[in-house]
Structure 1
Amino acid sequence: MTPKIKYQNLKQDYFEFNAFLAKNLRLLFASVYKNLRTYIYVYIVPIIFMLGVYMYQSFGGANKLLPPLIMGLLLIPGFGIAILLNTLISEWKASIFLKRIHVIGTSKSQFLLAIWIVGYVIGLSAILFGAIIMVTINAIYSPSGTNDFLEAFSFLSYGTFGQAFLAWAGFFLGASIVVLSSIGVATLIAGSLKSISLTQSLVILFLFFAVIFSDLFLSPSTMAGSKVTVVMSYFVPQKYGAWTTFYATSDGNINYFLSKPVSALITVSFNNIYGPIFGGLGYCTGLFVASLFLLNWNNRG
């Protein structure tokens, strides 16, 4: 085969891949946003839970949380996409939906990439919507008389343009790690297992564990009080997104998000921002690859 023919074949494969990907994206976006559970699992329940965590950590809004911790709370709606995608993929496998997609020529990589893109867009939109809701609620009800979330946004924008850019870019990267790792857990479990009830139970159990050990429900200062909890938390991929956000939004100063002096802590999870960034991206890559190899088109394998 001549180089020219090889190039033409690669070019044809590239355009065919993109054509099927675009078709899958249109189909999946339409299917997901027509489903009522999308709004319940991704927007309503996670935002209510985020509000509850904020009230718990701030003692009903009476205590002011540090700005990096406020930005960390905004990541919580990114967890909800796992429940939605797990439910949808499990139900699609039980029906002929995925089998029909496979029959028309869609590969596993095309479908998986499409579902990750759809989940990523929806997950980030949930975080944005949650931020708007929290700013609005805090403007209406604030015992301290200030809006903690607007102050956190101002804190990120303080300093030079470069510092503000890195802070917001770091928050975006942290949010992306949380959303992508949640998608990865859902596609891995729902794609590889046959039982709908089993997949739903496993995802809910994992999210319960992840929320507690991600340093978002319990503050990083509390979690750092025990080496056991810190070691266990390394198994939670969303933790890496949380710590990326903490470091990025504090300009790398650990005292901005740890309320106790560092010397009083038993252990600190990460000494700089590079650990959570590379660890989080590694988790996301591993979850995508594992999902790709273990995905079954239906519950018969």
Structure 2
Amino acid sequence: MSSAVYIVGAGPGDPDLLTVKAQKILAVADVILFADSLIPEEILHLCREDAEIIRTANKTLEEIIALMVARVRSHKSVVRLQNGDPSLYSAVHEQMQLLAEANIPFEIIPGISAFQAASAKLKIELTVPGLVQTIILTRISGRTEVPAREELATLAAHQASLCLYLSARHIENAQAKLLEHYPDETPIAICYRIGWPDEKIMVVPLSEMAEYTHKENLIRTTLYLISPALSPVKGRCATPHQRRSRLYHPEHSHIFRSSHHEEIETGFDKLK
């Protein structure tokens, strides 16, 4: 393993959801920097017993970068272990910029995001044919402002499967903006600490979104799924035939499979 920084997605909390590549890297890395407020310590059991473990919850970006740069320049392999997937709300952009400026090689190892783990727990597909074919991953403005063109009410107008991150502290505002475009009874899933032993998942009408959040005192690590695809959970599912994908339909052909009708016609041609 070369002297470099490996930015590894640890997933939402369940150590079993780490990729095989992430596990292999953790098993041999010299140094592990991990966000201890967001990542369960069980994941550290995958690391070398003599690996240097550095907790970063109380450190600034500059301090974290300085540590990584110093270790790599000392010819050590460094893992920057982050929750979820590095491509989403992980502050990885500025880390990559600073590492590049310091001429430190780095690699990114993707991880499972909370919206994927939540949909698996709920046993739903967020892109159901004839119902919804778009997924929007977003957040509401808080300490980090959202560009005006990505304002929540604007995105809600699509009535897609909307995955709302980092918004529990502003839930009344979020609910109001969503209600501008989604019906009151739209089922939403409130997902708290997905993949952790104390996870909570509740499907409620959109009109009760803020009420439930306050009732359960959810102020962080909460994901909201707002989607027509949740309808089956509330008993409002169309028939399987109406929502069937064309991919495996007997009348659908592609380069690996002829359609049922094409096979019949080919058979008749051979008999002629």
TM over 0.5: no
Specify which structure has the higher proportion of helix. 1
Normalising by structure 1, we get a TM-score of 0.25
**Which fold has the larger relative contact order, with Cα–Cα distance below 8 Å and residues 6 or more apart in sequence?**
1
Whichever of the two has the greater Rg, that structure is 2
Specify which structure has the higher proportion of strand. 2
